[in-house]
Structure 1
């Protein structure tokens, strides 16, 4: 089998204002274990805000999403504007509030949200090319913005978030932390991760399945 190339979009560094670190690392680890070649990307923009992860309070400073994401990627990361769909077989977006604050405005605007232009352009390109996409935690909230009405996804069981996702035109399917939801027509795979997980092992149980399924889908034409 040929080595598959996967683009991963990060949204900063830290659950409250960026990419969820455990979700991101589990994703990168599983992709590596399965022999995939990975390139991380992030938008070169300012974070919505900076949160003190010890106290949960906002801090009076500014940070850059690409610079912060580089912490998780050990410096091996590129501006999302450099990402070309033709170079990759699949796309995965870890969660964390960064997905709802930096990659989109879902945290502040709910079902009226928009997706950051470069993120949307890349995700739409994967959708149009019928290449598999994996979303986890809160990142499936933007599925309807990528695929349009009728897309099936999960954020777990949170009623308020599921309601907003439904208002945006998606079909929300409740899901246990260890399971995945697949929209077969669109090759979209989602899993709740830390929307439900109480431990890193619980988060990994669903993320590993999601990564495995995304990679399986890339081999369908082989």
Structure 2
């Protein structure tokens, strides 16, 4: 029997306004499981940029939360690995669900756009997959993290949906942004083994359409291992 593929799933916390988009994260894990792939959730052991009240949408003054602890709410107790202990060579591919935490906790795209930086540990982990020519899937805002991590190294073809501001930021970073009409679409960069899908970059997307896009992304990533 062939050995099951093992995929690293990088999470940015829990909650779409300050962490990982929970629906996108769970649908990613579901798609991997349905395809028979094993997965390991991974997150940095560090404080979030801030904490958002998901009822009001406003920051909570003085509140502090840990990215790894919050991501473990999705992964289940003890099943989310500290990024400091994760090794690219242990995995066949990388998948990154979205959520504002990607653009706030893992990089600073939410605040600086094309001038943003990626956390050094996150940048090293993500680049490691590209250096090893292993497939990478980036969902929702996660392609922006990829764009920052690859800036000055490789030009990527990717999508962040149809947002003009995001598209302009990608061009400034030297990448080719391709608009997509819905959450069901994927864009494949053949040379980089990169697959992207917009998911909740379309705020009003149906959950079923988000799953179609994520499942297509996961299917394409696994096919490329």
Q: TM-score range by the shorter chain?
A: over 0.9
* CA distance in 2 between partners of 1:149 and 1:129 (Å): 14
2:105 pairs with 1:99:
no
Aligned to 1:208: 215
* Deviation, structure 1 residue 142: 2.0
Flag as ranges the 4+ runs of structure 1 deviating above 6 A: none
- CA root-mean-square deviation: 1.0
C-alpha deviation, 1:143, in angstroms: 2.1
How many residue pairs match? The answer is 218
Q: For residues 50 and 156 of structure 1, do their structure 2 counterparts lie closer, same or farther at Cα, with a shift above 3 Å needed?
A: same
Say if 1:190 and 1:210, in contact at 8 Å, map to a contact too: yes
Structure 1 residue 117: Cα displacement: 1.1
Tell me which of 197, 204, 224 is aligned to 1:217: 224
Q: Is residue 121 from structure 1 mapped to residue 124 from structure 2 by the alignment?
A: yes
Aligned to 1:40: 41
In the alignment, the residues of structure 1 paired with residue 109 and residue 208 of structure 2 have an alpha-carbon distance, to the nearest angstrom, of: 27
TM-score by length of 1: 0.96
CA contact (8 A) 2:126 2:146 kept: no
Contact 2:114 2:148 in 1 (8 A): no
Q: Which sections of structure 1, spanning at least 5 residues, go unmatched?
A: none
SS of equivalent to 1:91 = strand
Q: 1:12 maps to which residue? A: 13
Deviation for aligned residue 1:153: 0.6
- Secondary structure of 1:6's match? strand
1:160-199 to structure 2, matched below 5 A, reads 160-175=165-180, 176-196=182-202, 198-199=205-206
User: Is the 8 Å Cα contact of residues 127 and 146 (structure 1) preserved in structure 2?
Assistant: no
Q: CA deviation at 1:149?
A: 4.1
TM-score with structure 2 setting the length: 0.94
Note the residue ranges of structure 2 that are not aligned, 5 or more in a row: none
Q: Is the 8 A contact 1:143 1:153 kept in 2?
A: no
Q: Any conservation in 1 of the 2:183–2:205 contact (CA below 8 Å)?
A: no
